[in-house]
Structure 1
Amino acid sequence: ATHAEKPGICPKHGENENKEDDYPMALNSNNLRFIMGLKLKQYRLKRGYSLKELAEKTGLSISYLSEIEKGKKYPKPEKILTLARALGVSFDTLVTLTVDGESDPIHSILSSPVVQEFPFRMFGVSIQDVLNLITESPEKVSALVRTFRDIEQSYAMRMDHLLLAALRAYQHMHLNYFQEQEEAVAGFLRENRWPPAPPVEEQRLREYVTQRLGYVIDEQSLAHYPELQEYRSVWVDGAPPRLLLNPRLSSSQKKFILAREIAFHYLNLTERPSTFSWLKLESFAQLLNNFKASYFAGALLMPREHFLEDVQRFFEQPRWDEGQFLALLHRYQVTPEMLFYRFSELLPQFFGIRDIFFLRFHHRMGSQQYQLTKSFNLSSVFNSNGIGFQEHHCRRWLSIRLLKQLAEAPTAAGAAPLLAAQRSRFIDSGKRVLMIAFARPAALNPHLLLSGTVGFLIDELFMEKVRFWDDPAIPEIEVNESCERCGLTPEQCADRAAPATIFHQQQELRLREKALHQLIRDVQSVHSKT
């Protein structure tokens, strides 16, 4: 049997996915030699010994001691005992993971979630680099860790915020395109002799998950738990494994979840969340595997070569045509959000359109709040994650405009989705973007509306690639990031939802800076004459 026929076995695509030390600096058996090297160097420096002096005291070679300190070798018990005697410490002191008790800064650093969970290796920083830094400057590194903790407490930043930021940075490094996942999808289609042309039918996915992976798909149990109605699925490990699907999901949403389950098995991603969406983030490995599974699922439902051809034809249209966009949705049988996000994966790599962003907003009917719940931003236009949680996003943004329009419909909960395009000019920078957005009722909450937007910076490359960018039928509207950052007067903007507090603070700061510079020039001028 091939690895495609055996759940959880994929030597080509997944054999290295779950090594203990792949990304976070977890304190596991793979890292013991690094910890030993760190402690040996620390105690040697405490005693004031050079490597040569320690070699003379132990009878071990300088090169061997250097290899231990670099984390390349782990000494045998008799040599550890010799080292302990020479350094005046116990055998246990050298072999345990704790260092000099709880008060030692190294112990504090190594037990910090920042050090244990942050994916240093993903950014080209090895575990040895981290441990060397800790050994050489433990007090400074300890101060840095304390700074992170202070920020966490002061700004309600949790460890999962830091890990999510690390994942976003990882996506930015790769322009959100991952060749390995694309090749895995192509391999899966080829090995299972699935037709490469879309759409992938829901029934085909169901049959694979139940017959090949041995799952039981349950669309009844989740409905009996009111507290869990906003979860799309729950995975229950066992023999057989069970996938509890929310029966209110659309066929497109169910297909995506089934495709994710295929990804977890085909890529051998064993550390995974049990719920979709998240209940809580437990580790970076779990977060990364979840991302890989979702990427695989999107690429399976929208195969790269066909998708690129269809997008090319769509961009070659001389006029914005809502019908052409809806035809793409129908061809792939996916949600607008899936289609938008696939844009962010492929357009930077294959069209050179790198100034792209994706946003998702939620709006609870009857409220005046519009919550940004997801963003991916490769553009230089604005910082979507830099807008404060309490700020009011610009009400002229297309997403929010469509949500307001949908909420005003007589039967908003059952209303048809809205789709539109808008050219937006940012007031402060003058940069223009083309936004395409949809708004629809949420499948799992009758009181919630959601919208998604894909936006492109209108530069020379974009104007060359997308013919309909300047279609006169597309409205052009001046926008800003948030009401708090916008200097438009009430007469200039009837959509304002909050005072321009940040704008006025920035204005006052600029005035003070200008006055300070003038003061310094005046004083220097007076004294230069005397």
Structure 2
Amino acid sequence: MMVEDEYIRLIFGLKLKQIRTDKNLSLFGLSKLSGLSKSYLNEIEKGKKYPKTDKILLLSESLEVPYDHFVSLKLDKNLAPIGDILQSKILKEIPLELFGIKENNLIDIIANAPAKVNAFISTIIKIAQNYNLTRESFFLASLRSYQEAHNNYFEDIEIDVEKFAKSYHLDLSKRISSAHLEEILIEEFGYKIDDQELSKYDNLSVLRNIYIPKNKTLLIDKNISEAQKTFIYAKELAYNYLEIKDRLYTFPWVKFESFDQVLNNFIASYFAGALIISRNSLTEKLTNFFELEEWKPLKLHQIIKHYNCSQETFYQRLTTILPKYFNIKNLFFLRFTHKEDSLEYKLSKELHITQQQAPHANRNHEHYCRRWISIKTIQDLEKSSKERATFGIQISSYENQKNEYLVLSSATPDPFREDINRSVSLGMLLSPHLKKKLTFLKENTFEKNIVGVTCETCSVKNCAERIAAPARLEKRNQHREIAKTVDTIINSYS
């Protein structure tokens, strides 16, 4: 971690440079405006000098920026990853000198980088936290950082969806069927669709489809649901309408050659979700739902049923609509999977908007808290006949923390893997803004549970759901006590 004085200088320099460039001022221009020398301003921006109070006041007046904004260590969102990387150990752990890069030069490069590079920086930070990432995990972390940097909302794709719908006379306010999309694929883009070929291969049961570009043939599993088929067709339409050539050919993917393929897969998936669940339609329905005086889960189920989509597609679509149209930005999406009779629940997909909420996929094979509604809905499903999804909602209150989340979850069997069940969950940070938006969110409306992250790090006493001792917590406490004793002994000899 950087020493505090160095960090403060760098943060101030980054802020000054961002404000100056936002106002289209050169160093020469700012020098003329403020009366400070160009060389002095350059040293400030590079983090070599920190101006005295009178100089900060001069810059504040010259640039029409509040003094408090200049001296605050809080960075704007597009620079926040830079602050994270400056405070992390990653710059010290990467042997930059092997590549002829000096730390200050790298910081200068970062400060001049566009938003996409900041997404890459966030990825580097995640790598610092998870050392054993595979190439696939690295690409997915990169993509997740890119999504989070944009609050998972992409206006250009939304507009393309609406243009597509207008071109092909699709009414986005109504339920989109696979038959609608299949006709466009065949008539407009020359597709051949075969739902028999895949069933000839026993080892391909995990695949939903294969696309063969040579003759535009789409092989699909004959057993997929109507919602899954609609999503697959919508993705194929996205690849064609957006003229995406560098793409993946299976769903789920078997192999990939580059990050561009992973990114393009996301773009096509986003297009598909936005086509099946249009932003205008969903925004209208959610507005009416949030204005209900009482919590009525049946109304939420009716909204979901209006769209020809899976539970996962709907919950993921909420992560794009809630931040943009309802200003509900502190939220997360989680997908857990569980093999029946196994003690392990795997966090197989996650997305965190604005804040880094727990839990994250852990690399230590620890046991996630069983008090999470994400896990309880899976347990409820496994106790049921599995003929329909199970649903749950709770307020999750973290032990020893102030944060509380309203979490919705649903669980279904995995349609392509035997004895595997999964849940998808959406968590929203409880805040005055959320309570104002959700009229039905009143005191005692929902059950509140004290939750941890993993059993190994949890200090909750007498937990009936605990399946592992708080080993890591105990070890950390033991080390802390040893350190105190060592300090006491050293001080006694001083």
In the alignment, the residues of structure 1 paired with residue 99 and residue 448 of structure 2 have an alpha-carbon distance, to the nearest angstrom, of 57
Q: Are the structure 2 counterparts of residues 428 and 151 from structure 1 closer, same or farther at C-alpha, using a change threshold of 3 Å?
A: closer
Between Structure 1 and Structure 2, how many residues are aligned? 379
In the alignment, the residues of structure 2 paired with residue 315 and residue 518 of structure 1 have an alpha-carbon distance, to the nearest angstrom, of 57
Give CA-to-partner distance per residue, 1:457-492, whole Å, 9 cap, x none.
101111111122236352111111111110123xx2
The question of whether the paired residues in 1 share the 8 Å contact of 2:399 and 2:460 is answered with no
In the alignment, the residues of structure 1 paired with residue 99 and residue 411 of structure 2 have an alpha-carbon distance, to the nearest angstrom, of 51
The question of whether the paired residues in 2 share the 8 Å contact of 1:319 and 1:471 is answered with no
Q: Is residue 485 of structure 2 the alignment partner of residue 509 of structure 1?
A: no
Matched residue SS, 2:394: strand
Match of 1:253 in 2: 228
Query: Match for 1:342: what amino acid?
Result: R
Match of 1:392 in 2: 367
Match of 2:5 in 1: none
The question of whether the paired residues in 2 share the 8 Å contact of 1:198 and 1:303 is answered with no
The question of whether the paired residues in 2 share the 8 Å contact of 1:381 and 1:457 is answered with no
Q: Is residue 152 of structure 2 the alignment partner of residue 182 of structure 1?
A: no
Correspondence for 2:452 among 480, 497, 514? 480
The question of whether the paired residues in 1 share the 8 Å contact of 2:452 and 2:458 is answered with yes
1:318 positional shift: 2.4
Q: Are the structure 2 counterparts of residues 354 and 514 from structure 1 closer, same or farther at C-alpha, using a change threshold of 3 Å?
A: farther
Match of 1:454 in 2: 426
Matched residue SS, 2:415: coil
The question of whether the paired residues in 2 share the 8 Å contact of 1:198 and 1:302 is answered with no
The question of whether the paired residues in 2 share the 8 Å contact of 1:322 and 1:419 is answered with no
Map residues 225-236 of structure 1 onto 2, 5 A cutoff. 225-236=201-212
In the alignment, the residues of structure 1 paired with residue 357 and residue 150 of structure 2 have an alpha-carbon distance, to the nearest angstrom, of 20
Give CA-to-partner distance per residue, 1:226-279, whole Å, 9 cap, x none.
21111111111122x111111222111111111000001111111111111121
Correspondence for 1:431 among 403, 422, 443? 403
1:303 positional shift: 0.9
The question of whether the paired residues in 2 share the 8 Å contact of 1:440 and 1:449 is answered with yes
Give CA-to-partner distance per residue, 1:116-135, whole Å, 9 cap, x none.
xxxx976348xxxxxxxxxx
The question of whether the paired residues in 2 share the 8 Å contact of 1:483 and 1:496 is answered with yes
Q: Are the structure 2 counterparts of residues 304 and 517 from structure 1 closer, same or farther at C-alpha, using a change threshold of 3 Å?
A: farther
Q: Is residue 135 of structure 2 the alignment partner of residue 159 of structure 1?
A: yes
In the alignment, the residues of structure 2 paired with residue 422 and residue 310 of structure 1 have an alpha-carbon distance, to the nearest angstrom, of 22
1:171 positional shift: 1.1
Q: Is residue 389 of structure 2 the alignment partner of residue 417 of structure 1?
A: yes
Q: Are the structure 2 counterparts of residues 471 and 439 from structure 1 closer, same or farther at C-alpha, using a change threshold of 3 Å?
A: farther
Query: Which protein shows a greater Rg?
Result: 1
1:331 positional shift: 1.1
Match of 1:407 in 2: 382
Map residues 118-267 of structure 1 onto 2, 5 A cutoff. 123-124=116-117, 155-239=131-215, 241-267=216-242
Matched residue SS, 2:321: helix
User: Which stretch of structure 1 is more off in the superposition, 467-476 or 312-321?
Assistant: 467-476
Query: Match for 1:428: what amino acid?
Result: N
1:190 positional shift: 1.6
In the alignment, the residues of structure 2 paired with residue 389 and residue 257 of structure 1 have an alpha-carbon distance, to the nearest angstrom, of 35
1:374 positional shift: 0.8
Correspondence for 1:378 among 353, 376, 388? 353
1:204 positional shift: 0.4
Query: Match for 2:428: what amino acid?
Result: F
Query: Match for 1:235: what amino acid?
Result: Y
Query: Match for 2:460: what amino acid?
Result: L
Q: Is residue 287 of structure 2 the alignment partner of residue 316 of structure 1?
A: no
Q: Are the structure 2 counterparts of residues 436 and 444 from structure 1 closer, same or farther at C-alpha, using a change threshold of 3 Å?
A: same
Q: Are the structure 2 counterparts of residues 473 and 458 from structure 1 closer, same or farther at C-alpha, using a change threshold of 3 Å?
A: closer
The question of whether the paired residues in 2 share the 8 Å contact of 1:435 and 1:453 is answered with yes
What's the TM-score once normalised by structure 1's chain length? 0.67
Q: Which runs of 5+ in 2 are unaligned?
A: 1-97, 101-112, 119-123
1:169 positional shift: 1.3
Query: Structure with the greater relative contact order (CA < 8 A, sep ≥ 6): 1 or 2?
Result: 1
Query: Match for 1:270: what amino acid?
Result: K
Query: Match for 2:381: what amino acid?
Result: L
Q: Are the structure 2 counterparts of residues 106 and 388 from structure 1 closer, same or farther at C-alpha, using a change threshold of 3 Å?
A: closer
Q: Are the structure 2 counterparts of residues 316 and 509 from structure 1 closer, same or farther at C-alpha, using a change threshold of 3 Å?
A: farther
Correspondence for 1:442 among 414, 423, 429? 414
Query: Match for 2:332: what amino acid?
Result: F
Q: Are the structure 2 counterparts of residues 431 and 517 from structure 1 closer, same or farther at C-alpha, using a change threshold of 3 Å?
A: farther
Q: Are the structure 2 counterparts of residues 474 and 279 from structure 1 closer, same or farther at C-alpha, using a change threshold of 3 Å?
A: same
Query: Match for 2:470: what amino acid?
Result: A
Correspondence for 1:500 among 432, 449, 470? 470
In the alignment, the residues of structure 2 paired with residue 439 and residue 285 of structure 1 have an alpha-carbon distance, to the nearest angstrom, of 32
User: Which stretch of structure 1 is more off in the superposition, 505-514 or 347-356?
Assistant: 505-514
The question of whether the paired residues in 1 share the 8 Å contact of 2:148 and 2:351 is answered with no
Matched residue SS, 1:384: coil
Q: Are the structure 2 counterparts of residues 510 and 189 from structure 1 closer, same or farther at C-alpha, using a change threshold of 3 Å?
A: same
Q: Are the structure 2 counterparts of residues 354 and 513 from structure 1 closer, same or farther at C-alpha, using a change threshold of 3 Å?
A: farther
The question of whether the paired residues in 2 share the 8 Å contact of 1:198 and 1:301 is answered with no
Q: Are the structure 2 counterparts of residues 210 and 389 from structure 1 closer, same or farther at C-alpha, using a change threshold of 3 Å?
A: farther
Match of 1:336 in 2: 311
In the alignment, the residues of structure 1 paired with residue 223 and residue 159 of structure 2 have an alpha-carbon distance, to the nearest angstrom, of 33
In the alignment, the residues of structure 1 paired with residue 132 and residue 242 of structure 2 have an alpha-carbon distance, to the nearest angstrom, of 35
Query: Match for 1:423: what amino acid?
Result: I
Match of 2:439 in 1: 467
